[in-house]
Amino acid sequence: MGQLKHRDLNQHDQHQDLILLYTRLLEKTSLTKGILRESTRSPSSDSSCSVLSLLHQNNQLKKKTGELAYQVLELQQKVKDKELVLEEQRSSLLEVSRRLEGAFDSRQELQRQVEKVQEENGSLKTKYDNLLERQRREETKLREEKVKGDHLLENMIGPKQQAAARMNNRNQRRSRAREANLQKELQTAAGSKVTLDSCSSAPSSRSTSPKSPESRDGGHARLFRSSSVSSPRILSSIRELFQKRRGHSVCSLEEDQVFPVRISLSARVPVRALQVLEAHEQGINAVRFSSCSQLLATGGTDRQVKLWEVRAGSLTHRASLDGGTEGITCVEFDAAGSRILASSYDRSALLWRLDDSVPKWTLTGHSRKVTAARFSGCLHQVVTGSADRTIRLWDLQRAACVQVVAVPSYCSDLVCSENFIISGHFDSKIRVWDTRTLRCVQELPAQGKVTSLDISSDQRQLLSCCRDDCLQLVDLRGRSNDRVCFRAEGFTCGSDSTKAVISPDGCFLAAGSADGAVYIWNVSTGNLETRLPDRHSSSISAVAWSLSGEYVVSVDRSRLAVLWSDI
């Protein structure tokens, strides 16, 4: 009803002028009709003219009335069109109103969701703040516990070091006493006279009666049991003196064993490739000769360690050692050549006996890939380095980690000597650790990221390969640790795990380049001795030099292994 009233008012206002004109027209029409009726009643001729004029006006008014009626019709049609447009606009307005109401409802729903999310975020932030505060407290406690642990360790190590020093002093005194006794016995044996009788007279001389002149005189003609070099007592003393003891004086008896001393011949610089073969199904990361130089081990990304026999200038496959779940990063033989150790991308190290393809031990505990695994200076001990910035010492008798050392940077490689562990890192540092306390006793600078380490047979020189395309040779004998750098035009370190080696006699250095060539330097001159090209089609990952000095093997990322020699 209200809409109808509103519509009536709008239309009334729009056509008010037209209605007034139409009303006036009707009044004039009625007036004209009245005049005509009066004129018909008065017959005077004077009014005839006025009647005619009135008739003319009437006609004009009719004509005007027709035009106005036509205009009224046109205006009514326009009004109808406007009403249709108005209806459409009203319907669209209603639709927009409904959509606006829906949007308003959606906005309210979104506002409720936002408020809910804000409440959840507030509660989560409160929990996070509580956890952060708890973490800070736990870190504070951890630091305090580490300090306490360091103090306890120092308190424990101090008496042990003193006891070890006392034991070493006693052992040195005993060794000096044995040497003195042995020297006296040797001098006595050298100064004594030994009479040699025939086989028939020797027994009778031992049983000579007291009445014999020789026995009465007690002279020099009396036969005696001299302390000769063939005496078991002297042989045992000599054996004790020249026996190579593994570890320290406080080690167990199992570690006091005799191992063969490595004696290497003069290394020969290879000049040609004797054999090229696809040793693995995927890229090869590591290669190592055994101490006898007749057995070679390779490890690759195909998760296998393969053993090869070196005979008559060729490699013959002997066995494949399985057990790893990811690629192999490093391989190592023990001193006796009966066991092989490997590190893997699967955060573990594996140990095999050469007569068994199943690993005897799997050492797990690192949180990232193990980059290096080495036999330490003591029997039944293994050292591993990892990308998780830790070095771990393992006891093989228990197959357990006995000590963990946190290092400041990514550990890329390790080498072990009798009393030290040397590690190379990505922070361009080489760190020397005491095996008794596993404390860093020295830091040596490198030219760049250290990719590998190797130590000479006499343990006097340390070789490091760096990512700045430089090999660095460090003299470990002096306190100054003199360093010599070796570079060559064209040599490029191909990866973060490229391995270089020292020749067995310490006269040459060998490393593989990203261009697929083997570069060999002369240590005495510092110059490049030779370059062995055209056998590898990809970057060389590792090089090994046999202890006999006769062979060099290089391996690359494209599965190739090349046996080099000077023959």
Phi-psi region of 495 (alpha: psi -120 to 50; beta: other; left: phi over 0): beta
Same domain? For 237 and 300 the reply is no
Looking at residue 359, which CATH number applies to its domain?
A: 2.130.10.10
Same domain? For 335 and 397 the reply is yes
Q: How far apart are CA 481 and CA 390, in angstroms?
A: 25
Same domain? For 300 and 236 the reply is no
Is 227's pLDDT higher than 50? no
CB 451 within 8 A of CB 423: no
CB 298 within 8 A of CB 287: yes
Q: How far apart are CA 107 and CA 297, in angstroms?
A: 71
Is 402's pLDDT higher than 50? yes
Same domain? For 377 and 517 the reply is yes
Same domain? For 235 and 318 the reply is no
Angle at 344 between CA 339 and CA 348, to 5 degrees: 80
Angle between helices 2-14 and 16-41 in degrees, nearest 10: 60
The CA radius of gyration of the chain, in Å to the nearest whole number, is 54
Residue 43, pLDDT score: 53
Q: How far apart are CA 420 and CA 435, in angstroms?
A: 5
Report the Cα 170 to chain-centroid distance in Å: 47
Residue 14, pLDDT score: 67
* Widest distance between CA atoms in the chain: 223
Residue range 468-478: average pLDDT? 89
Phi and psi at residue 47, to the nearest 5°: -90, 0
More confident of the two residues 243 and 331: 331
Beta-carbon contacts of 384 under 8 Å, excluding residues fewer than 6 positions away, are 343, 349, 363, 366, 370, 372, 373, 374, 391, 392, 394, 414
Q: Residue 332 is part of which domain span?
A: 272-565
Same domain? For 491 and 381 the reply is yes
**pTM of model > 0.85:** no
Residue range 399-412: average pLDDT? 91
Q: How far apart are CA 31 and CA 62, in angstroms?
A: 13
CB 533 within 8 A of CB 539: no
Tokens read off for 112: 């409720």
Mean pLDDT of the chain: 81
Q: How far apart are CA 504 and CA 546, in angstroms?
A: 7
pLDDT per residue over 543-561, tens digit each?
A: 999 998 999 999 999 999 9
258 lies in some domain = no
Q: How far apart are CA 444 and CA 271, in angstroms?
A: 34
448 lies in some domain = yes
pLDDT per residue over 58-104, tens digit each?
A: 778 778 888 888 888 888 888 888 989 999 999 999 999 999 999 99
43 lies in some domain = no
End-to-end Cα separation, the chain, in angstroms: 118
267 lies in some domain = no
- Structurally, how many domains does the chain consist of? 2
318 lies in some domain = yes
Phi and psi at residue 234, to the nearest 5°: -70, -40
348 lies in some domain = yes
CA-wise closest residue to 160 among 251, 223, 91, 81: 251
CA-wise closest residue to 509 among 494, 523, 491, 492: 523
Same domain? For 306 and 181 the reply is no
Q: What is the dihedral sign for C-alpha 236, 241, 247, 250? A: positive
Is 252's pLDDT higher than 60? no
- What is the band of 177 on the pLDDT scale with cuts at 50, 70, 90? confident
Residue 539, pLDDT score: 94
201 lies in some domain = no
Lookup result for tokens 């949180």: 367
Residue range 416-435: average pLDDT? 91
DSSP label at 457?
T
Percent of the chain with pLDDT over 70: 82
Same domain? For 538 and 480 the reply is yes
List, in sequence order, the alpha helices (H) in 192-225: 201-206, 213-217
Q: How far apart are CA 553 and CA 558, in angstroms?
A: 15
Using alpha carbons, list the distances in angstroms from residue 31 to 25, 36, 66, 289: 10, 9, 18, 139
Same domain? For 382 and 470 the reply is yes
548 lies in some domain = yes
More confident of the two residues 214 and 333: 333
Residue range 442-454: average pLDDT? 92
Same domain? For 237 and 293 the reply is no
Residue range 236-253: average pLDDT? 40
Same domain? For 363 and 316 the reply is yes
Same domain? For 522 and 404 the reply is yes
Using alpha carbons, list the distances in angstroms from residue 382 to 176, 285, 334, 355: 33, 20, 10, 20
Residue 444, pLDDT score: 92
